Amino acid sequence: MIFKLIACEVFFREISLCAAVSPHTVDVELTEKGAHDKSDFLRDLIQSKIDAAGKSSRAYDAVLLGYGLCGNAASGIHARSVPLVIPRAHDCCTVFLGSRKAFEDRFKDNPSLPFSSAGYMERGGKLMREADTGLVPGAGGSLEELIARYGEENGRYLHETLSPGRSHGAGDTLVFIDVPELAHLGYAEKCRLRAEEAGMKIEVMRGDTRLIRMLLSGEWDPREFLIVAPGQRIRSVYDWDEIIRAEEPE
């Protein structure tokens, strides 16, 4: 089969490893890490690349998306003439760790905990990725939406606590996800030094290319991946299991 992969550049090294051993032909197109800073912009960017793939002379069997829900950027994306496949992941952190369970075990009690990886270290100016409110079931959306859902006091608290870009105090923890195949690059130690300069502690977690390998190999277990049929779109669910679902547009 022939796949078109549209993915964030933070996965460049992991994607390269997995594409090299995939039994399928994979055409890769990457988006800049900074595109995550604005969900609406990233959504439009991904959609434009999906649309272009559908109009290509290349007969793709599926368009693969190397993203998580990513602050609701994936919510609302439409499949055109070619099926879409995307991991059931709140953020790229799940993809780096290789499973939702690994993500939930470490981040469920502190979904705003920042993390980093080799891709974050070597691409763009930011050392780390801070989690979005979309990581918390029912807590995605703007300040106004949170107030409407939870009331003035609780809504403002959730927005302040969980929004990306909040300031960090001394002693905060940064999680570095170290994929074994990339450990020789030494980014865990480089991250530790930079984190200490910022007054932060570092915790190193073992990463896993499992989800990327499955995505590029066509092993789309419905418990791990959402397949969006032509004409359908992605909708966020805000839970810890399904995360996203496919629906017919209104």
Residues 64 and 15: their CA atoms lie apart, in Å, by 12
With tokens 């890769």, the residue in question is 28
Residues 54 and 59: their CA atoms lie apart, in Å, by 8
Which residues share a beta bridge with 235?
245
| pLDDT one-digit tens code per residue, 81-130 | 999 999 999 989 999 999 999 999 998 888 778 899 999 999 876 666 66
Q: Helices 12-21 & 210-217, crossing angle to 10 degrees?
A: 50
| pLDDT one-digit tens code per residue, 28-72 | 999 999 887 788 999 999 999 999 999 999 999 999 999 999 888
Residues 167 and 147: their CA atoms lie apart, in Å, by 22
Cβ atoms 78, 246 nearer than 8 A: no
Q: Is 59 exposed, middle or buried (0-12, 13-18, 19+ CB in 10 A)?
A: exposed
| pLDDT one-digit tens code per residue, 183-233 | 999 999 999 998 888 888 999 999 999 999 999 999 999 999 999 999 999
The DSSP H or E segment spanning 217 is: helix 210-217
Cα-flanking dihedrals φ and ψ of residue 153, to 5°? -65, -50
